[in-house]
Structure 1
Amino acid sequence: MEEFQTLGDEIPQITYARVVHNLPEHPMINVWLLLNVRSDPCIFSSVDEDWLPYTLRDYQNIQQPVTDPYQTGSDIDAFEVKVRNETIDDLKALRQQSFYFYDDITFFEGQPKMHLAFQPDYLLTSEEVYTNVALEENQIR
């Protein structure tokens, strides 16, 4: 599993290296937005002014992300919203403001990490994160 985790960390660089040669150099292109189209739902938490994705996983088998090959994009969006609302409701019931996320599910050293999560602004869905990026950058078409 360690090899899979290492490869997973390197996939963005590998993909970029394979694609960059095919992209034409054009004076009008000065910003790229690379999207990772995934089939597993994830929730984003703010860390150091960036949004980090956390994949939803089965608590009985933490190595497996929660996936359904028959889900559509709308189903995944609805599931992300449902999970976010359940997380916030649980925190309200416990009268807490923080939720714990695992950054490393291979070794669990120094895990889990605490993140603020008591309002919807602290946990975003995939659609919200990518829509915000597209709206902030006026040069994206």
Structure 2
Amino acid sequence: VVLSPVSPQQCSDNLASISRYCYSIIFEWIICKINSSISPKRDAKQDTQHPLRWVSVLDIFGFESFEHRNSLEQFLVNFANERLQLCFTQRVFELEKKVTTQHPTQDNDDNTISLLIRYMMQRVYQGTTLQQKLSTMLQW
């Protein structure tokens, strides 16, 4: 039998608080290690064979507001956001792929943007000016 001045609920809350603190300290240590391993060395010259390394985490603006930017809670929220974004993106692309497979469209390569790109690449479009070609294409 253990006698304690705190209730079982208070004990559970204290344990959760200590656990969060320990995870937070470990998380901050990991962030420091990652930052030191991917940051460029001060005396190193630009190495073209080994470009700068980086880690990217999606942060959906307005979803939450934390005082500390690199906290464990922020990371977990961002990780959850990334997983949700991945599921959403995969689902949208699957549906769009299905729609375009069921209802194929004809590729219209004779549009203004593609014409402009070709014109800029060739500098001259078969002896005509860009304005003349656009006028013909758009029936101006």
TM over 0.5: no
Q: Greater helix percent: which structure? A: 2
Q: Which has the higher contact order (CA 8 A, sep 6+)?
A: 1
Normalized against structure 1, the TM-score is what?
A: 0.24
Query: Computing the radius of gyration over CA atoms, which structure comes out larger, 1 or 2?
Result: 2
